[in-house]
Structures are given as C-alpha cells and as structure tokens.
Amino acid sequence: MDPLPRPTDFELAVLQVLWKQGDSTVRQVYEALGSKGAYTTVLTIMKIMTEKGLIKPDKSRTTYVYSVTAPPETIKRQLVSDLVDRAFAGAAQELVLQALSTASASKEDLKAIRKLIAKLEKKNHE
C-alpha cells in the first residue's frame, strides 16, 4: 500500500474528529471542530481529503457519511517518520530526546516508554 499524503493541519484536525467520533457527516465534523472554520471550508477540505484518499464517503445514504481510510496509527507513524526525516535527519533518538525534554511525561507515559524500550531491546537481540 502506498503511503497516504501528509495531511495539512486542518486535515489532521478533521481526521482527529473522525478518529474520536467515528464515521461522521460534514455537519458533525463542522460542529465538532467548533470555530476552526466555516461549514463550507470543512466541506471543501473533506472533498480534498477524499481526493487524496485520506477519507471516503459512504454514498449509499442521502447524506454522505465519511470514514477514514487508514487507522490513526498508520497516519501518525507516517507523520512521525516524515518529521524524523525532515527535522532530525533520520535520527529518531534526537526526536525522542527533544520530545521528552519539551513535554512533561507522566508516570504512565514513562512506564509505557520503558516497556517499549524493553520490547525493542528484546526484538534486537533475537
């Protein structure tokens, strides 16, 4: 499967609504976004996102209901990979160190990070 195009900030906001609410109409996305744009702006962006393959409409209903074409993990992984390549010259370690130094991590976050590190270390030793 080819990678999906990188979503713009507004498109990412739409995706976040769809991930949280599930399949939604343009009106439902517009209402969830609040003051982030006019209804016609949301409609136009969602048409563009459909053309890009980020979302797809269910045309079997009188009002189209849109769903995402890939799980959040896939799109987030692509975004992080792009960020690592563009901002950190491929050095994932630098991204992680920067993220941990700029955002406070909860005990749960640190526990999850340690668990992931242990899993990756085990995988690398196999």
Domains with residue ranges and CATH for the chain = 9-68 (1.10.10.10), 72-125 (no CATH)
pLDDT digits (tens, 9 = 90+) for 97-113: 888 888 788 889 889 88
Q: How many CB atoms lie within 10 A of CB 26?
A: 21
| Tokens of residue 2, six digits | 């080819």
What's the CA gap between 80 and 83, in Å, rounded? 5
- Could you tell me the pTM of the whole model? 0.79
pLDDT digits (tens, 9 = 90+) for 1-37: 567 888 999 999 999 999 999 999 999 999 999 878 8
